Amino acid sequence: MLNVTPDSFSGDGTLDPAAALGHALAMRAEGADVIDVGGESTRPGHAPISAAEELRRIEPVIASLVERGLLVSIDTRKAAVAQRALELGARIVNDVSGLADPDMAAVVARSRAWVVLMDDRDVRDAEDPVGLVRDDLAALVERAGRAGIDRERVILDPGFGFGKGPRENLAVLREIGRLRELRLPLLVGTSRKSTIGKVLGGLPVEERGAGTAATVAIAIAFGADAVRVHDVREMARVSRMADAIVRG
């Protein structure tokens, strides 16, 4: 993930296009398959920004990445931002709001881009949080289909850390196989999340690498097809090792 914002929870954001490009090129060299560019923070308590400001941040970065042949995903909740990113050459829309913008589905359908649909409903204290996540994702897939989005271009994200406490987040990882019932690729983003810090006794963001590695390996073992991470070199190695064990 490439955070083009000063408000990233992980502390790795930048508003400098040159620095962002350098970071992205380093991530590709370390094993990243996709560079997920986000111009607006999604951390709890973040300050929303306008589409114009989000575009100002991400346009030069995406243009530079595409020019250099990188596969780019745009992490946005705004249809106008997604549209411009796709025009610049992004190939994937990563929408953590699950098509909340009424124009987003049409933008994706027209472009025939890949789309990541994430569940962000609050399922804290639910008796069966994973069942609710599965049902929400199924409803999102149905809505996307009605809008003309090709099912074969849909990726699902259970939303680790969004509307979930440690109990629910760990249940999602433990029972991720239930989400495979939807027969679509699964993306899991656990990297440096607060649940890891809490489980490991209150570790700060910069000390959550080992805990992240455990979640990445478990996610892959239980059925995840892709992972979204900050520490690319280390997590690429974890992913390759987990794949070798699970998939042979």
Tell me if 161 is assigned to some domain. yes
* DSSP, res 190: -
Residue 14 has pLDDT above 80, yes or no: no
Tell me how far the alpha carbon of residue 130 is from its chain's centroid.
Answer: 18
Tell me if 63 is assigned to some domain. yes
Rounded distance between C-alpha atoms, residue 128 and residue 161, angstroms: 16
* CATH code, 135: 3.20.20.20
Tell me if 162 is assigned to some domain. yes
Q: How many CB atoms lie within 10 A of CB 139?
A: 13
With cut-offs at 50, 70 and 90, classify the pLDDT of residue 10: very low
228 catalytic? Reply is yes
Tell me if 189 is assigned to some domain. no
Read off the pTM: 0.92
Q: What is the pLDDT of residues 139-187, one digit of tens each?
A: 999 999 999 999 999 999 999 999 999 999 999 999 999 999 999 999 9
78 catalytic? Reply is no
Rounded distance between C-alpha atoms, residue 91 and residue 35, angstroms: 10
Pick the catalytic residue from 228, 233, 237, 247: 228
The average pLDDT across 57-74 equals 96
Domain count, the chain: 1
Structural contact between residues 17 and 61, judged by C-beta atoms closer than 8 angstroms: yes
Pick the catalytic residue from 57, 164, 193, 208: 193
Tell me if 19 is assigned to some domain. yes
Burial track 200-237 (b if 16+ CB lie within 10 A, e otherwise): eeebebeebbebbbebbbbbbbbebebbbbbbbebbbe
